[in-house]
Structure 1
Amino acid sequence: MQTSTVVILGSTGSIGTQGLDVISRHPDRFDVVGLAAGGAHVDLLARQAARFHVAKVAVFDGNAVQPLRNALEQAGASHVEVTAGPDAVVNMAASGADVVLNGITGSIGLEPSIAALQAGSQLALANKESVVAGGHLLFDAQVRERQINPVDSEHSAIWQSLRSGTHGEVSRLVVTASGGPFRGWTRDRMVGITPEQALNHPTWHMGPVVTINSSTLMNKGLEVIEASRLFDVPPDRIDVTVHPQSVVHSMVEFRDGATIAQASPPDMRLPIALGLSAPERLGDVAAACDWTKAATWTFEPLDDEAFPAVSLARHCLEASEKHTAVLNAANEQAVHAFLEHRLPYLGIVDTVKEVLDDMDSEMRGNPLFASVEEMSRLELEARRRADELINK
């Protein structure tokens, strides 16, 4: 069996740490050649570099370089080469590894995604913002079918289910949502929700931004955008259903009436492993469903009135890729403000909608980005306007 070289972006985050856990169980299958992280957890990054005998490490924050070098020396890995800054992370992605696992959170993951594809690497993509904000900038880099392995549990489920038929046989995609901690709540009841409540997700353990997005269902809106672009299916053929048990991760309905679903207990190591090894499946990854025990799976319609984020995301998807970039950028600002107790919970999606309404006319003229730089400028403006609203 051939060994694959792997670079992990966002190695100290939820996706990165679970990816390294998968790799640790298959040491003959993978060789970790590079790690990249933001720089907030230098001790963990140093331990990862030492354990996996990594030669190069990149940190986004230049101020983390000296603390990281000190941590590497403590971990017995002082030989590791350290680079810093956004370009260092992009260069790590572009190093030509067989597989690049992109677990970065936020649209800063777009340039590393493009760099990995242009270098010919297989991109195990957990950074949904690359697809949401980048639009055709990402897919112009290379053919999506050949190089992108979706790692989000929903998109991995669709990707696996699509093996059952051709693209022309697909009737619709069905994306499942857990419903988050406030499933069944009315909008009036959500007044006064605290960050501590919103971070208490019933089935998944994720980073804070993704967890808040899951509670507002903005995460599901972003996933509808991602599914449409990854699998080339129009938004009116993508449904969202609430499935609190989080066992069925998504489904594909075919034109003959058959629906193919991927089911497993909630564990991100399964889609991560497949993203690293596809088309081969690895052993010793995650627990399977126990069919000897009684279980009930339920599916409920989405409450668009209480959770308007999915409808807002659909509107942006139909409008232009600039709208989806603004949606993502404004949402990131609003989520951070909520986590810092500067914005009420219901203000998250309200702020995003107000920014979109404010910028709508200027985005309509030329809906496609000419470059990553243009995308970054538009995102910066969206963040500025979101901050203005939040500060008011």
Structure 2
Amino acid sequence: MRYVTVLGATGSIGKSTLDVIRRHPDLFSVYGLVASTSIDAMIDSIREFKPKVVAMSSEKAAIEVLKRVKELQLPCEVLFGDDGVETLAGDGSADIVVGAIVGAAGLRPLIAAAKTGCIIALANKEALVMSGTIFFETAKKYGARVLPVDSEHSAIFQSLPFEVQENLGFCNLKSAHVDKILLTGSGGPFRDTPIKDLEFVDAKTAIAHPVWSMGPKISVDSATMMNKGLEFIEARYLFNADDGDIQVVIHPQSVIHSMVSYEDGAVMAQLGNPDMRTPIAVALGFPERISSGVNRLDFTKLSSLTFMEPDFSRYPCLKLAMQASKSGQSATTALNAANEVAVASFLESKIKFTDISCVVDTVLCSNTCKEPNSIDEVLSIDESARKRAIDYIGKLNG
């Protein structure tokens, strides 16, 4: 029996994780659940999975959850605020911590989890985008194992030999005879939209992803292909890769989730229906395969599979992310912070869709912060970038 703590339990990844766990009561038991403000969903999960501890990053929500836990006589401890989330993530009682908190808020809890030496099923991009070196050095120091949950990184992981899978963050692709990592992406909902029309895109259209079911922020990132840029950065740290080791390929059907090309000309690809329960099951069950509940891929019903190079005039955020990757952790931290602020403003209809890349570019151009050596320094860069993003958005609206 493995005990699991799910950070971001009421989000899309969290719900899918709990569905996989639900199918394997003999293998997994939920120890802890973390959410922000989703009170009803948290109470439902407490009733079903009976965790020993839960934490709500919103203290107001935590008060309400505690009230209802007492009313329902549920034997569950409730922790309050960001400190409570970090405490739960790092208390050492879970064998597996699933990191599915979206954004920079997931950074400290994941570092706390790494210090317990647990298995980290990583769905939070920011842990690596903002602090890849620090995160993996912490994991190595305390004996934690990191397994990817992003569908693309899981596909790459599954296409690599076992000796690489066992040593993420410090593996040697060349000794494994890897020629290239091929990182695929759907191209989002505006892949065929005339570029001149992109400035008129609204939030409702942007979050309607044609293939994957995701939250609003990640859906917008998919539309701008910033998600692929963040995944490019993430892949560098996960697989100890150089920029030249990774190629981004647009694959609209999202059937091939990513590929690995080898020196002998062979290409290993991981295919499947676009359902996050597959990579989640891979991470939870590794090195064994466990049922995920995902329907089998029917090759007789597949349409043609197509591939193309990304157009940077359509996806400037992707180009900015790849450029930031070459500059280092300070730049990627600033990139991520500026993007979070810009996407939130777009979702609130404060800026245009095409302004997102302008905000990120402006913040990157003004970034003078040195490379971080600690989480506090990472968060200082993050805070500075957010302020510059907010100031620029204010000028756009002025």
TM interval, short-chain normalised: over 0.9
Task: Provide the residue aligned with 1:18 in structure 2.
Answer: 16
Superposed CA deviations along residues 206-234 of structure 1, whole A, max 9, x for unmatched, are 01100000000000000000001110111
* Runs (5+) with no aligned partner, structure 1: none
Task: Provide the residue aligned with 1:158 in structure 2.
Answer: 156
Q: 1:110 aligns with which of 107, 110, 118?
A: 107
Task: Provide the residue aligned with 2:46 in structure 1.
Answer: 49
Task: Provide the residue aligned with 1:381 in structure 2.
Answer: 384
User: Where does 1:68-217 land on structure 2 (aligned, <5 Å)?
Assistant: 68-73=65-70, 76-96=72-92, 97-143=94-140, 147-163=145-161, 167=173, 168=175, 169-217=177-225
Q: Which letter maps to 1:319?
A: S
Q: Which letter maps to 2:380?
A: R
With over 3 angstroms needed to count, the CA separation of the structure-2 counterparts of 1:77 and 1:322, relative to structure 1, is farther
* Secondary structure of residue in 1 paired with 2:301: coil
Q: TM-score, normalised by structure 2?
A: 0.93
> Quick check: 301-310 or 148-157, which moved more?
301-310
Q: CA contact under 8 A between 2:281 and 2:291: conserved in structure 1?
A: no
Q: Which letter maps to 1:30?
A: F
Task: Provide the residue aligned with 2:250 in structure 1.
Answer: 242
User: Where does 1:248-327 land on structure 2 (aligned, <5 Å)?
Assistant: 248-327=256-335
Superposed CA deviations along residues 150-192 of structure 1, whole A, max 9, x for unmatched, are 0000000000001278622011101111010000234312121
* Runs (5+) with no aligned partner, structure 2: 165-172
Q: CA contact under 8 A between 2:224 and 2:318: conserved in structure 1?
A: no
Cα distance in structure 1, aligned partners of 2:359 and 2:209? 23
Q: CA contact under 8 A between 1:225 and 1:314: conserved in structure 2?
A: yes
**1:339 and 2:337 are equivalent in the alignment:** no
Q: CA contact under 8 A between 1:185 and 1:306: conserved in structure 2?
A: no
Taking only the aligned residue pairs, the percentage that are identical comes to 40
**1:371 and 2:374 are equivalent in the alignment:** yes
- Per-residue deviation, 1:73: 4.4
Q: CA contact under 8 A between 1:269 and 1:285: conserved in structure 2?
A: yes
Q: 2:56 aligns with which of 48, 52, 59?
A: 59
Q: CA contact under 8 A between 1:273 and 1:285: conserved in structure 2?
A: no
Q: 1:34 aligns with which of 32, 35, 40?
A: 32
- Per-residue deviation, 1:134: 1.1
Instruction: Output the aligned Cα RMSD.
Output: 1.6
Task: Provide the residue aligned with 2:169 in structure 1.
Answer: none
With over 3 angstroms needed to count, the CA separation of the structure-2 counterparts of 1:42 and 1:146, relative to structure 1, is closer
Cα distance in structure 2, aligned partners of 1:285 and 1:112? 29
- Per-residue deviation, 1:358: 1.3
- Per-residue deviation, 1:95: 2.1
Q: CA contact under 8 A between 2:2 and 2:96: conserved in structure 1?
A: yes
Cα distance in structure 2, aligned partners of 1:189 and 1:32? 47
Q: TM-score, normalised by structure 1?
A: 0.95
* Secondary structure of residue in 2 paired with 1:292: helix
Cα distance in structure 2, aligned partners of 1:111 and 1:67? 24
Cα distance in structure 1, aligned partners of 2:302 and 2:342? 42
Task: Provide the residue aligned with 2:168 in structure 1.
Answer: none
Q: CA contact under 8 A between 2:229 and 2:317: conserved in structure 1?
A: yes
- Per-residue deviation, 1:283: 2.1
> Quick check: 300-309 or 141-150, which moved more?
141-150
Cα distance in structure 1, aligned partners of 2:73 and 2:327? 50
Cα distance in structure 2, aligned partners of 1:295 and 1:266? 15
Superposed CA deviations along residues 69-90 of structure 1, whole A, max 9, x for unmatched, are 233346x343311111112111
With over 3 angstroms needed to count, the CA separation of the structure-2 counterparts of 1:6 and 1:205, relative to structure 1, is same
Cα distance in structure 1, aligned partners of 2:89 and 2:139? 15
- Per-residue deviation, 1:66: 2.2
> Quick check: 374-383 or 325-334, which moved more?
374-383
Q: CA contact under 8 A between 2:178 and 2:263: conserved in structure 1?
A: yes
Q: CA contact under 8 A between 1:50 and 1:77: conserved in structure 2?
A: no
User: Where does 1:344-359 land on structure 2 (aligned, <5 Å)?
Assistant: 344-359=352-367
Q: CA contact under 8 A between 1:190 and 1:346: conserved in structure 2?
A: yes
- Per-residue deviation, 1:285: 2.9
With over 3 angstroms needed to count, the CA separation of the structure-2 counterparts of 1:294 and 1:328, relative to structure 1, is closer
